[in-house]
Structure 1
Amino acid sequence: MKRTAVNPWSWSLKLGYNQAEVIEGLTRQVTCAGQTSVDDEGNPQHLGDMRGQINLALDNLEAVLKHAGMDLSNVTKLGVYATDVDEALKNFDLMGMRFGPHQVAPPMTLLGVTRLAIPGLLFEIEATASA
């Protein structure tokens, strides 16, 4: 798979994502459901702690990708939902810490929402991955 960044402007790079990517040579694609801060039984964790929730949601995303034979380097699109966008952005260094070592900056949308499916959850991340 070959990825080519498309950035008519550079401002999004400072935020850790490309405006678009051209993906060539695709052989497999995985669409991941939204991952949140839940344990193996689906119980919410880190209530009231946006940083803790982002960290566990990313752990859970990595676990799903691993079971599909992929990792964060394969992520080609992210959808992020937060009940407090400002608080999520304060903790987005976690995104850079996870995706940075893979040298990818997948296109991303961040949306503020009133609530998520399970009360107490503050952050959810969904991904499309390709190989």
Structure 2
Amino acid sequence: MEKRIINPWQWQNARGYAQAVEVTQVAGTLYCAGQAAVHPDGSSSTDDMRSQLLLAIENLEQVISQAGYDCQGIVRLNVYTTSSAELFACFDVFQAWINKHGIQQASTLFEVPSLFETLKVELEATVVR
């Protein structure tokens, strides 16, 4: 796989995403459903945004890993949240995760009126290798 990041500006770097990602010579593409703070027994978390974000990341990592891919291969990551303000208050968690895996992804953040049951954040990824 060859990946090229297109950033006409520099300001997005501090926000943890790229303006565009071109991928060529792909050996596989994994389209992940939105991963949220759902426990292994299927129950939705009732915790705060920070805890839910950590669990959603953990669940996304598990799906990616089980499929035989790496988080570094994430090229598209959509974030759905019921509160941008709450999410931005714990954005350090998201940025630390991005940096840990060397992810450079195109992203879109959506504030939505609600997610399933008590969920506050959901991560939807496209991963390549």
SS of structure 2 residue aligned to 1:128: strand
SS of structure 1 residue aligned to 2:33: strand
TM-score, length basis structure 1? 0.94
Shift of 1:4: 1.2
User: 2:79 — aligned with what?
Assistant: 80
1:18-57 correspondence runs (5 A):
18-45=18-45, 47-57=46-56
Q: Which shows bigger deviation, 119-128 or 90-99? A: 90-99
Cα-Cα RMSD:
1.0
| Percent identical | 35
Cα distance per residue 1:93-114 (max 9 Å; x no partner): 1122112122222110000000
Unmatched tracts of structure 2, length 5 or more = none
Q: Which shows bigger deviation, 87-96 or 106-115? A: 87-96
User: 2:100 — aligned with what?
Assistant: 101
User: 1:69 — aligned with what?
Assistant: 68
SS of structure 2 residue aligned to 1:43: coil
Letter in 2 for 1:67: Q
Instruction: Return the alpha-carbon distance in structure 1 between the equivalents of residues 7 and 110 of structure 2.
Output: 21
User: 1:127 — aligned with what?
Assistant: 125
Corresponding pairs, count: 129
Shift of 1:40: 0.9
Shift of 1:11: 1.3
Shift of 1:48: 4.5
Instruction: Return the alpha-carbon distance in structure 2 between the equivalents of residues 10 and 36 of structure 1.
Output: 30
Instruction: Return the alpha-carbon distance in structure 2 between the equivalents of residues 105 and 92 of structure 1.
Output: 16
User: 1:114 — aligned with what?
Assistant: 113
SS of structure 2 residue aligned to 1:94: helix
Shift of 1:31: 0.2
